[in-house]
Amino acid sequence: MKSKISIGIVILLVLIQFIPIKRNERLADESFDISYYYNLPKGSEVSNILKTSCYDCHSNNTSSPWYSKIAPVSWYLANHVNGGKKKLNFSEWKYLDEAKREHKIEEVIEIIQDDEMPLTSYTLLHQDAKLTVEEKENLLRFFESL
């Protein structure tokens, strides 16, 4: 009986791998990105911090590790990324009207000050995404200057 259950679980795990999910890996038109909108040079400190600590969940370009292609982890990550993009998508900054941009900037400043982002669940596997005190200060200076 236990072996039939084990075989059934293995078959189920194999079969769910064929359920397609929409991945967040499309290249976005860079002209809509916050970096382009505010003329942040590629490789600048703020641009690098955003890409390392924010863009996986808050842009149209997620860097997907190997485990993100295995169901049911892929379902969780896709849901998580879609939720993050719904709240804030740096790749679509140009689409926002001025009032929404100002509101998003205020939210980002508050979230950085309250150490709410990046999420601990993310930084556990992405140590380089943890924000140092200096990185937080640089981000705050940038967003407060807008």
Structural domain tally of the chain? 1
pLDDT tens digits, the chain, 146 residues: what are they? 788 888 878 777 777 788 877 766 666 577 899 999 999 888 899 999 999 999 999 999 888 788 888 899 889 989 989 999 999 999 999 999 999 999 999 999 999 999 999 999 999 999 999 999 999 999 999 999 99
Question: Rounded distance, CA 15 to CA 65, Å?
Answer: 21
What pLDDT does residue 27 have?
60
**Single pTM value for the model:** 0.84
Range of the domain at 60: 22-145
Q: Locate tokens 């100002």: which residue?
A: 102
What pLDDT does residue 123 have?
95
What pLDDT does residue 22 have?
74
Whether residue 98 lies inside any domain: the answer is yes
Whether residue 111 lies inside any domain: the answer is yes
Whether residue 2 lies inside any domain: the answer is no
Whether residue 115 lies inside any domain: the answer is yes
Whether residue 1 lies inside any domain: the answer is no
